Amino acid sequence: MIRALAGLALAAALLAAPAAAEPAFQDRYADNAGVKIHYTAAGKGPLVVLIHGFGDTWHSWRPLMDALDEDYRVAAMDLRGWNLSDKPKGVEAYTYPHLIADVAAVIRAEGRQGAIIVGHDWGGGVAWRLAADRPELVQRLVVLSTPHPAGLSRELATNPQQQRNAEYARNFMKPGSEAALTAEGMADWVKDPAQKARYIEAYKRSDLTAMMNLYRANYPKDEAAAAEANARALAMPKVKAPTLIIHGVDDTSLMAAGHNSAWTFIEADTTLVMVPGAGHFVQADAPALVNRTIRDWLAARPVE
């Protein structure tokens, strides 16, 4: 009898106790035709999918995730080839249609019909194309650093300074270019020692050939190819989602001129924010300004 009463008391205590708190950041995976895409998620509310660029991982978005996760469900991807995502072989596996489908898989894995899309660098290129090709998936669009494909290809075809500044990308496209890369060297831009250690660990888990294949699959190899890409980009459907563009004034990889006339490629309201003193990794160079700008801009354009 005593044991029975004790058992009842224990059961009642367990029922009354608060459930263990769900981890603030959760590692999750989406499936795109057998390719596993890792993403880290937190929070509740409208879904925000964050897409990093070259020389980066999902860690780039941690400060923004902290700024948004009280009001949004934030999901920061690792691009295929990076960190904990799968690393399919071959250049064709890194073309934009596959990258776009990876983002769609994350949205689907979260059980949503659409999302707020945030992209930087190559992630920005994916975000622009997703918004054009799959408008039903993009509720709001935020792009850091990367011009619209028509603006970028225009500058690569006609702007001598942008052409000179893009020489690194053309070098990346050469066979065997990945041999010159190291995890430690790629993490040079990260200032915080603890964060740098996380990046080095993630780069060591990544596939350097996959990183170069992004360029080999998608980047115009010369000015003539850029002109052809510009013609295709001009024919892209216009972006239908409200769009926020944030650019570091000191960015030399992707020059600010690429954003000229960006609004002509967008049918919704468009906001362009230039950040003095910030370079290509604007989210790392001016995190408080970038995070506040994105949070306030989204709050003014609520997603149901």
**Tokens linked to 54:** 């070259």
pLDDT at 23: 55
Q: Where are the domains of the chain?
A: 24-299
Q: How many CA atoms lie within 13 A of 230 on its CB side?
A: 16
Tokens of 248: 């570091």
pLDDT at 190: 87
Helix axes 96-109, 122-133, angle to 10 degrees: 80
Phi, psi of 77 (to 5 degrees): -85, 155
Characterise 145 by phi-psi region: left (phi > 0), alpha (psi -120 to 50), beta (else).
left
Q: What is the pLDDT of residue 9?
A: 41
H helix or E strand, kind and range, residue 290: helix 287-299
Report the C-alpha gap between 103 and 79 in whole angstroms. 9
Residue 6 has a pLDDT of 39
Is the Cα dihedral 104, 109, 113, 115 positive or negative? negative
Calculate the alpha carbon distances from 116 to 7, 75, 155, 172, 264 in Å. Answer: 49, 10, 28, 31, 21
* pLDDT, one tens digit for every residue, the chain (304 residues): 434 433 434 334 434 444 444 458 999 999 999 999 999 999 999 999 999 999 899 999 999 999 999 999 999 999 999 999 999 999 999 999 999 999 999 999 999 999 999 999 999 999 999 999 999 999 999 999 999 999 999 999 999 999 999 999 999 999 999 999 999 999 988 888 998 999 999 999 999 999 999 999 999 988 999 999 999 999 999 999 999 999 999 999 999 999 999 999 999 999 999 999 999 999 999 999 999 999 999 999 999 7
Contact at 8 Å (CB) between 273 and 145? Answer: no
CB atoms closer than 10 angstroms to residue 25: 15
The superfamily in CATH containing domain 24-299 is Alpha/Beta hydrolase fold, catalytic domain (3.40.50.1820)
Mention every residue, 6+ apart, whose C-beta is less than 8 A from residue 241.
117, 131, 135, 138, 139, 140, 141, 268
Q: Contact, 291 vs 63, CB < 8 A?
A: yes
